[in-house]
A = this chain, B = another copy of it.
């Protein structure tokens, strides 16, 4: 397995484009299109938010057929809380793309991201789609990756490749999303492409697993915004024998998909709204993995922990307080805590100033680990969190201005 250049168009047979259609101020790109040279199985994972946006509702319907040909995305408007009009607009977007590709509408998927509650500017979108068609190319991946951004500072692309069953299989992808303050992660969209030959059910299972160990470990919960979507489209051009459940070939493909998703997730994390640090929270010694996950999430989402990280303040009491209120039954006198490899708490009691003074240096690093040992069993979990900075407040206070 190796990382290669490119993004969504790195696998064989994918074209993409990104343009300014007039949804955002010129010349900011705001529409993207990804097309496969022919249709193939598609897998999807969506927000669990009950107030789901129109494109999510429509994609869920289309996914019942499990076949994809193209994905049309706009930024600047989320098409959420827009009622039946919003659904009609999303349908029209897929129909317009399908018409130009001589494909069925149900093979076209749609994504929207941006402000909630405003109707889509459909006249601009109608003009944008033909323009996107003329711009489709193997080199259009970067333009597409740029056109799906909102508050992101950087584009997020990935491409990974491996020899599997004698064939070269590539997974490419792009994502948008910055900020990961649980449970309010900014709307995250991620699109993956692959030339692997794989059945839809297998692909769906692989995508769910990859999302679980990547995006769900930075967003801290799959249950987030109105628009969150991850799609993976496979066109089979690699010509490998079908990837069978339980085979080493499928395991190798799963690793490719995991790596692609983790790379995109970490790019989202590093571009987090106002993020200056990435901190890994590792919880071990829990009775169960679920317990460990819950403790890790409580620490990783604490505003007080996150502001202390920003202030480079070794205020580990806030971590202890988070453990104590996570809802998991703990034995305070068994808790151990180490930050950046330096033991800080043993048997629930602080190890004193000298340990804390060594800690000051760790807190100044850009990336480090907070390791909690609950001393109760073998349950473990890890996730990444960021700090909470002035810039997070600035970006989110004035998002629509």
Contact = CB atoms under 8 A, between A and B. Distances in A.
A174 B51 CA distance: 42
Contacts of A350: 81-82, 116-118
A306 to B, nearest CB: 9
Given A348-B81, A398-B313, A49 B324 contact: yes
A398 B311 CA distance: 6
A126 to B, nearest CB: 21
B184 A303 contact: yes
How many subunits of this chain does the assembly comprise? Answer: 2
Nearest to A349: B83
Interface residues of A, number: 66
B399 A308 contact: yes
A80 interface: yes
Summarize A's interface: helix, strand, loop or mixed.
Answer: loop
A22 to B, nearest CB: 18
22 contacts: A50-B324, A50-B330, A51-B332, A81-B317, A81-B349, A115-B315, A116-B316, A116-B318, A117-B316, A117-B317, A181-B303, A184-B303, A184-B304, A186-B304, A226-B321, A226-B324, A303-B392, A304-B396, A308-B397, A313-B401, A389-B397, A390-B393
Given A50-B330, A388-B393, 8 more contacts: A48-B325, A49-B325, A116-B317, A184-B305, A184-B318, A184-B321, A304-B396, A307-B396
Interface of A: 48-52, 78, 80-83, 115-118, 181, 183-184, 186, 223-226, 298, 302-305, 307-308, 310-311, 313, 315-318, 320-325, 327, 329-330, 332-333, 335, 345, 347-350, 353, 388-390, 392-394, 396-401
